[in-house]
Amino acid sequence: MSETLALIIGKYNYWLYIILMMIGLYAMIVKNNLIKKLVGMNIFQTAIILFYVSIGYKTHATIPIIKDSGHGDGHGGGHAVIHAADYINPLPHVLMLTAIVVSVATFGVAMALAVRVYQRYQTLEEDEIRMRLTEE
Amino acid sequence: MRLIGFIIVCICGGLLLYGTSEFPDWGDPASPASTHLSNDYIEKAFDQTQVPNLVTAVLADYRGFDTMFETAVVFCAGLACLLLLRDYSRKKERFYRHVPTGVILQVKHPEKKLPVGTEFEYMDKDWVPSDLIIKNVCRILIPFIQIYALYVVAHGDFSPGGGFQGGVIFGSSLILLAISYNLRTLVQRVKEKALGILCALGVLVYVGIGALCMPLGGNFLDYSALTRIIPWDPHHIRAYGMLGVEIGVGIAVMAVMVVIYINIASEGRHDEGL
């Protein structure tokens, strides 16, 4: 039992992201309203962003901005050796930085599509849209 | 449907949770993600680029192609929003407010127009008077938000920040203007044509800086070739290249955010909405 608990505590970031991702997936599968589905999609994306950022973390490390860079003298790199263990992994941050903005932009496109669907069918409920489609 | 969905989610989540037992612990410095490429970036990026913010260095230099196409994706999203929603059809009836008395006039004839100025004010059907406190607080706040956005873009090489963040902050300051006043105020201040040009200009600045490196003797997006046209300070030439690229990203993101907001909030009519 204590082993399982240690396993969960040691990897709690994965548990959080999986719970969040499953909430999003559930909303995307089950919810009837298109806006609620979009909210689920956003939760899903946020879970993935959380996952990426959490795998970039290192204990006893700081943000990936070089300290004592001495910008100004022009030759800052020479005087201090940079240890990789002192800085957290910048790569997931780079990937997620762009992913956040792109997810906002794609969310905007999804909202635009939802607006068009509403203009055409006067509803955002999926079953009603399907009913209207079979009527035509 | 509800039950099936729940079962699918439970199975999926259970499999993923089962898989995590093989994953490295939280904050483990020896995890696979932090061993190969990232150490190389952390140890060498500052010597190679002279940019202390490693995220910016990786974003705009090592992964410059990736960021360029991400910017293109943002641009395409703005374009898609515009094409899906923009409605150029004219409204049949117009509403005007007589400013001194507050009387509202309705003009049903589509051709006739009242002169809009100090006497008459154009208004929308679902117009609500904006709150005085909100208006004034936002009017004071917006310039500072914009200055901060410019700072975030310009200082992205040395501190947390960069084109994406600064662009979003600047765009949200304009959206705040639309929320606190009304959408028409924003559309009057920032013309739709200008926004469209800025969307494309941001991507063009990025691609242009990349392409400019080629006739100067470097590869695409190889900023060190820019020493031919920026002869001073060749040591920091990559930082200058990254700054230019980030400015392009900031312009594109700012314009796209505003285009998406305007089109969704007014359903493409650019008059009403929030």
Banded model confidence at residue A74, pLDDT cuts 50, 70, 90: very low
Q: What is the pLDDT of residue A73?
A: 46
Name the CATH topology of A2-58+90-135.
Helix Hairpins (1.10.287)
Interchain contact, B8 vs A29, CB within 8 Å? yes
Task: Report the residue of chain B nearest A14, measured CA to CA.
Answer: B20
- d(C-alpha B59, C-alpha A101), whole Å: 14
Highest mean pLDDT among A56-60, B85-89, B174-178: B174-178
Model pLDDT, residue A82: 81
Q: Is B27 on the interface with A (CB under 8 A)?
A: yes
User: Which residues of chain A neighbour B20 with C-beta distances below 8 Å?
Assistant: 11, 14-15, 18
Of B2, B16, B37, the CB nearest to A18: B16
CB of B271 closer than 8 Å to CB of B81: no
Task: Note the pTM of the prediction, 2 decimals.
Answer: 0.87
Q: Which of A4, A5, A7, A14 to mutate to test the interface with B (most CBs of B within 10 A)?
A: A14
Closest alpha carbon within chain A to B2: A30
Question: Is the complex ipTM higher than 0.90?
Answer: no
B-facing residues of A in 116-135 (CB < 8 A) are 116, 119
pLDDT greater at residue B10 or residue A10: B10
Would you give the distance in Å from CA B116 to the centre of its chain? Answer: 33
Q: Which of residues 77-106 of A touch B (CB under 8 A)?
A: 77, 82-85, 87, 89-94, 97-98, 100-102, 104-106
Cβ-nearest to B29 among A59, A106, A108:
A59
Least CA distance to B63: which residue of chain A? A94
Q: What six digits make up the tokens of B205?
A: 């600045």
Summarize pLDDT for B32-83 with one digit per residue, the tens. 888 888 888 888 888 888 888 889 999 988 999 999 999 999 999 999 999 9
* Residue written as token pair 């199975």: B11
Across residues B237-242, what is the average pLDDT? 89
Nearest to B34 among A18, A25, A58 (CB): A58
pLDDT at B205 over 60: yes
CA distances from A112 to A59, A120, B221 (A): 42, 12, 34
For residue A47, what pLDDT band results from cuts at 50, 70 and 90?
very high
Instruction: Using CB atoms, pick whichever of B5, B27, B160 lies closest to residue A26.
Output: B5
Q: Return the DSSP state at B119.
A: S
Min distance B38 CA to chain A CA atoms (Å)? 6
**Residue B199 pLDDT:** 94
CB contact under 8 A, B13 and A13: no
Place B26 in a pLDDT band, splitting at 50, 70 and 90: confident
Task: Look over chain B and give the mean of its residue pLDDT values, rounded to a whole number.
Answer: 87
Structure confidence at residue B127 (pLDDT): 65
Q: Quick one: average pLDDT of A55-74?
A: 74
Find out whether B142 and B226 touch, Cβ atoms under 8 Å.
Answer: no
Q: Which of B9, B58, B73 sits opposite A91 (nearest CB)?
A: B58
Average pLDDT value for residue range B197-226: 91
Residue to substitute from A16, A109, A120, A126, interface B, most B β-carbons within 10 A: A109
Over residues B158-178, mean pLDDT: 91
Res. B11 pLDDT band, cuts 50 70 90:
very high
- The whole-angstrom distance between B253's CA and the closest CA on chain A is 8
Q: Report d(CA B165, CA B54) in Å as an integer.
A: 16
d(CA B268, CA B264) in angstroms, rounded, equals 7
> Is the distance from CB of B250 to CB of B160 less than 8 angstroms?
no
* Domain regions of chain A by residue span: 2-58+90-135
**pLDDT tens sequence across B180-202:** 888 888 888 899 999 999 999 99
pLDDT value of residue A77: 46
Shortest Cα distance, chain B CAs vs residue A136, angstroms: 22
Residue count of chain A: 136
- In this structure, what token pair is assigned to residue B167? 């662009």
**Considering only CB atoms, which chain B residues are within 8 Å of A74?**
233, 235-236
For testing contact with chain B, the best of A91, A95, A126 (most B CBs within 10 A): A91
Judged by CB atoms closer than 8 Å, whether chains meet at A59 and B164 is answered as: no
Contact in structure between B253 and B164 (CB atoms under 8 Å): yes
- Going by DSSP bridges, is the β-strand pair B94-98/B120-123 parallel, antiparallel, or unpaired? antiparallel
